[in-house]
Amino acid sequence: MKDSDTDWQRVDAMRDEDIDLSDIPEVTEEQMAEARLRVGGKPVRKGKVGILVDAEVVAYFKMKAGEKYESVINEILKAGIRNLSV
């Protein structure tokens, strides 16, 4: 049984300019601001993780944002995700 009837070879060969998006409205900045990340249809919640970050990075964000430095780092990382081109 096939997972999809899509001709993926044809799709992969297409250039962005070849794709007809005329019936799909542009996403507004307001809509993006309200967007929530989902994985497998489920919203992604905050969780504690341990990552190694240079001391100077932590010091910078503590100086700029005070006690909210972790939230500021989180917002910057989220903005980076939105700007990634896959």
- Residue-wise pLDDT tens digits, 7-39: 999 989 999 999 888 999 989 989 988 888 888
Which residue segment(s) compose the domain that 34 sits in? 8-83
> Percentage of the chain with pLDDT > 70?
95
Evaluate whether residue 51 is within a structural domain. Answer: yes
**Contact between 72 and 61 (Cβ < 8 Å):** yes
Q: Is 1 part of a structural domain of the chain?
A: no
Which has more confidence, 34 or 54?
A: 54
Specify the pLDDT at position 81: 86
**Domains in the chain: how many in total?**
1
SS3 content of the chain, % helix, strand, coil (to 5): 50, 5, 45
Q: Residue 78: CB partners within 8 Å, gap ≥ 6?
A: 37
Whether pTM exceeds 0.75? no
Given this model, what pLDDT does residue 37 score?
81
Residue 75 lies in a domain: yes
- The answer to whether residue 2 sits within a structural domain is no
Query: Would 3 be classed as within a structural domain?
Result: no
Which residues share a beta bridge with 42? 39
Q: Where are the beta strands (DSSP E) in the chain?
A: 38-39, 42-43
